[in-house]
């Protein structure tokens, strides 16, 4: 199920603006990779190129290769919709569909892909909610609107929705930035669980979180505003946090930044 990701010489643009330059990195299957770095250095941008969400922005484009188990997802023959079925995404702000119940939110992906078998949908719904650690809290009110949950519950609902379509890779852009410490912890535990089945890439501003959840950490930086962001260094999380190769990484991690 879980697949590996390789980025080769990836350059990302917003129109004329060169946002990220020359990224090379690999993500192993069944591992967690976290992206850290100052605001505006292009972490979200890189993450969004991994499931071709970047191209939804007018004028945006990507050069280089993004390989999913060796296949270039930007190949002319590949379809953005198919790519996104394989590579799911959880956003910074929880965004359940407001017109749908909790159950419909979870199975929205399957339903809209044409699965109508009620039994199957119910099974997936329960399994995904259990997977997202939300089942106990909502099992009694699956028909209530998804927007009626707390922020942390909504975020876990979004995670359930993302895993319900059984992707191979899960991308998360600051999934805890709007959450309290307890919900954050719940989601971190969840990431540790999900790692058994998925390849996970997570963007975070929280160093402790990166240290807690990830196997591998990538540090992005920006030389100056208006210049493209770059991948400074990527290594095992323990190495990055204890003994980074680059001075810039050490400065950023120890808070001696800028």
Ligand X SMILES: Nc1ncnc2c1ncn2[C@@H]1O[C@H](COP(=O)(O)OP(=O)(O)OP(=O)(O)O)[C@@H](O)[C@H]1O
Could you say which of Mg ion, ligand X, other proteins, none residue 40 binds, taking C-beta under 5 to 8 angstroms by partner kind?
ligand X
State in angstroms the smallest separation of the CB of 226 from other proteins. Answer: 25
Q: Which does 81 bind (CB under 5 to 8 A by kind): ligand X, Mg ion, other proteins, none?
A: other proteins
> Does residue 41 belong to the site contacting ligand X (CB under 6 A)?
yes
Considering only residues 108 to 167 of the shown chain, the ones binding other proteins according to CB under 8 A are 108-109, 112-113, 145, 147, 158, 161-162, 165
Q: Does 221 bind ligand X (CB under 6 A)?
A: no
In whole angstroms, the minimum distance from the beta carbon of 40 to ligand X comes to: 4
Residue 194 C-beta: closest distance to other proteins, Å: 16
Cβ atoms 159, 175 nearer than 8 A? yes
Q: Contact at 8 Å (CB) between 202 and 34?
A: yes
Closest CA to 133 of 102, 156, 162, 164: 156
Render the burial of 219-234: b for 16+ CB within 10 Å, e for the rest. bbbbeeeeebbbbbbb
Q: Rule CB under 6 A: choose which of 8, 14, 28, 61 binds ligand X.
A: 14
From 1-9, 28-36, 96-104, 210-218, span contacting other proteins (CB under 8 A): 96-104
Note whether 44 binds Mg ion by CB under 5 A. yes
Q: What is the DSSP letter of 244?
A: -
Torsion angle in degrees (nearest 10) through CA of 71, 77, 80, 83: -30
Count Cα neighbours of 110 within 13 Å in the Cβ-side half-sphere: 24
Residue 1 binding ligand X, by CB under 6 A: no
CA-CA distance, 220 to 146, in Å (whole number)? 35
Q: Which of 43, 103, 156, 195 binds ligand X (CB under 6 A)?
A: 43
Site for ligand X in 48-107 (CB under 6 A): 57
Judged by CB under 8 A, which of 4, 85, 205, 212 binds other proteins?
A: 85
Nearer Cβ to ligand X, position 51 or 128?
Answer: 51
Contact call for residues 23 and 7 (beta carbons, < 8 A) = yes
Six-digit token string for 174: 């600051």
Counting Cβ atoms within 10 Å, is residue 118 exposed (0-12), middle (13-18) or buried (19+)? exposed
User: Is residue 42 part of the contact set for ligand X (CB under 6 A)?
Assistant: yes
Cα 70 to its chain centre, rounded Å, is 20
CB 15 within 8 A of CB 72: no
Min CB(206)–ligand X separation in Å: 11
The residue ranges that bind ligand X (CB under 6 A) are 14, 17, 19, 37, 39-45, 57, 229
The residue ranges that bind Mg ion (CB under 5 A) are 44
């Amino acid at each position: 199920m879980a697949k590996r990701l390789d980025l080769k010489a990836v350059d990302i643009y917003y129109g004329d603006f060169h946002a990220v330059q020359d990224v090379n990195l690999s993500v192993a299957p069944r591992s967690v990779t976290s992206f850290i770095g100052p605001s505006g250095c292009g972490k979200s941008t890189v993450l969004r190129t991994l499931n071709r969400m970047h191209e939804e922005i007018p004028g945006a484009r990507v050069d280089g290769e993004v390989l999913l188990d060796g296949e270039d997802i930007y190949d002319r023959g590949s379809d953005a919709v198919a790519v996104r079925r394989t590579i799911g995404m959880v956003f910074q702000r929880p965004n359940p569909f407001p017109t749908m119940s909790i159950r419909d939110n979870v199975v929205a992906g399957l339903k809209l892909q044409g699965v109508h078998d009620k039994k199957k949908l119910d099974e997936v719904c329960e399994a995904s909610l259990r997977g997202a650690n939300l089942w106990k809290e909502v099992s009694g009110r699956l028909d209530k609107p998804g927007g009626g949950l707390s922020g942390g519950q909504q975020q876990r609902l979004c995670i359930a929705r993302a895993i319900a379509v059984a992707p191979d890779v899960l991308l998360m852009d600051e999934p805890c930035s709007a959450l309290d410490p307890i919900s954050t912890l719940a989601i971190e535990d969840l990431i540790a669980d999900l790692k058994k089945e998925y390849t996970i890439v997570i963007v975070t501003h929280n160093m402790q979180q990166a240290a807690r959840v990830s196997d591998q950490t990538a540090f992005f930086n920006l030389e100056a505003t208006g210049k493209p962001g770059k991948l400074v260094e990527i290594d095992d999380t323990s190495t990055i946090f204890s003994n980074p190769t680059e001075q810039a990484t050490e400065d950023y991690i120890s808070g001696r930044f800028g």
